[in-house]
Amino acid sequence: MTERKPPGVSFESWIDKQIRLAQERGDFDDLPGAGKPIPAGDVDDELWWVKNYLRRENLPSDSLLPTPLQLRKEIERLPDTIRGLPSERAVRDVVAQLNLQIVAWLRAPSGPRIPVSPVDADEVVATWRQQNQPTRKPPVAAPVDPESDPRRAGRRWWRRKR
With respect to residue 41, please indicate whether it lies within any of the assigned structural domains: no
With respect to residue 58, please indicate whether it lies within any of the assigned structural domains: no
With respect to residue 23, please indicate whether it lies within any of the assigned structural domains: yes
Q: What is the pLDDT of residues 91-150, one digit of tens each?
A: 999 999 999 999 999 999 888 888 999 999 999 999 999 888 765 566 666 665 655 655
Determine the residue type at 66: P
Tally the domains of the chain: 2
Residue-range definition of the domain harbouring residue 85 = 64-132
**70 & 119 share domain:** yes
- Rounded to whole angstroms, the Cα distance separating 77 from 131 reads 14
With respect to residue 26, please indicate whether it lies within any of the assigned structural domains: yes
With respect to residue 52, please indicate whether it lies within any of the assigned structural domains: no
With respect to residue 46, please indicate whether it lies within any of the assigned structural domains: no
With respect to residue 158, please indicate whether it lies within any of the assigned structural domains: no
Please, which residues have CB within 8 angstroms of residue 18's CB and are 6 or more apart in sequence?
1
| Other residues' Cβ atoms within 10 Å of the Cβ of residue 114 | 13
**29 & 69 share domain:** no
Nearest to 91 by CA among 130, 136, 134: 130
Q: What is the pLDDT of residues 51-108, one digit of tens each?
A: 888 888 998 888 888 999 999 999 999 999 998 899 999 999 999 999 999 999 999 9
